[in-house]
Amino acid sequence: MILVPLFLTGSCYLRSKDYGRGFASVAEGQTIWNVTDAMGQPDEIETCYGPVYSNERVVGQCSKTLVYYSFLQKWGVILDKNGTVIAKYHNVSH
C-alpha cells in the first residue's frame, strides 16, 4: 500500500522533469515534429482561432495548441496552420 503513493509521486516528478527538458528545447519556428520528438505525444490537442500575442506583438494566427499535463502543471505549444511553433507557455497551479 505504501508503494503506490511513492510510485505515483515519483512518476509525476519524472514526467514533469521530462516535459520541462523537452519544453526548454522547443523554439518558435520549429515544426510539430520537433515538438513531439522533444516532448512526446500531447495529452490533449486544442483547436484555437485568432491572433497570438507574444511580447506585445502578434506572432501569428493560432490553429492548434499541443497541451501536456503533469501534477499541477500545464505546458502548451501553440502552432499555426502550417504546424509551426508560434508561441509556448507553462502554467503552474499553486
Q: HSE-up of 61 (CA within 13 Å, CB side)? A: 4
Q: What is the pLDDT of residue 2?
A: 59
- Selection from 24, 73, 63, 69 nearest residue 43 by Cα: 69
pLDDT in tens, 62-93: 999 999 998 889 999 999 999 999 999 999 88
pLDDT in tens, 25-44: 999 999 999 999 999 999 99
pLDDT over 50 (residue 4): no
Query: CATH says 3-92 is which class?
Result: alpha beta
- pTM, two decimals, is 0.81
